[in-house]
A and B are shown apart, each in its own frame.
Chain A
């Protein structure tokens, strides 16, 4: 059973243009949603964890600027801007922190972004 649905799965992004990604949670038992990026060097890196609707956070990393928003209990968004290098963004979910196995992370299938 798929816990997360990400879209788009692939996108060509003209240099200087922003792109918006969505992640839909299919199981409310895993409400802690996060974004991870994987760069061209294959390094996986945590970006954000947003739990509550209305939560927003921004971050600038080498090669891209990010704005993450927890829109609803089931939707997480990520705006990627000023991207200079391609990357893949993964949405994840996990159960509430605390208790056995509650940190286990489940990944979406990823959104692969390529800079034109």
Chain B
């Protein structure tokens, strides 16, 4: 079946710094979504990409269907960015999303 490999599993950043999360796909996917799980347990949409890149504030995401990966870049990290980030790849034929295992991001003062 479809598989999504997300890395790193955990990431620690100091305020003001940045890094990138990555998801690799074992097959060609139609689109990718990135989510953040907030303190209440809700999954918040960050990006939906069918191709190319999108940017929103301090977050930027890219998706390359042919090369089978997506990235989420965080710059100028703030304490409130802490949480668990998930990527998910969409199989349009089935409407099914396959999730990565998540990245636990901790931003420290």
Contact = CB atoms under 8 A, between A and B. Distances in A.
Interface of A: 32, 34, 36, 42-46, 49, 88, 90, 94, 97-98, 100-101, 103-107, 109-110, 112
A44 B45 contact: no
Given A42-B101, A45-B99, A103 B42 contact: no
A98 B93 CA distance: 9
Given A105-B88, A107-B35, A107-B42, 12 more contacts: A42-B84, A46-B96, A90-B43, A97-B92, A101-B50, A103-B31, A103-B48, A104-B48, A105-B45, A105-B90, A110-B42, A110-B43
B95 A97 contact: yes
Residue from A36, A46, A103 whose CB has the most chain B CB atoms within 10 Å: A103
A90 B35 CA distance: 13
Nearest to B31: A103
B86 interface: yes
Contact of B95 (A32, A88, A106): A32
B30 interface: yes
Contacts of A45: 99
20 contacts: A32-B95, A43-B99, A44-B99, A44-B102, A45-B99, A46-B97, A49-B95, A94-B95, A97-B95, A98-B92, A100-B50, A101-B48, A101-B50, A103-B31, A104-B33, A104-B48, A105-B33, A105-B90, A109-B40, A110-B43
A49 B36 CA distance: 22
A54 B77 CA distance: 47
Chief secondary structure at chain A's binding surface: strand
A92 B96 CA distance: 11
Question: Size band of the B side of the interface?
Answer: 20 to 34
The 10 closest A-B pairs by CB, nearest first: A44-B99, A107-B43, A104-B48, A103-B90, A109-B42, A46-B96, A49-B95, A110-B41, A103-B31, A97-B95
Contacts of B48: 101, 103-104
B9 to A, nearest CB: 10
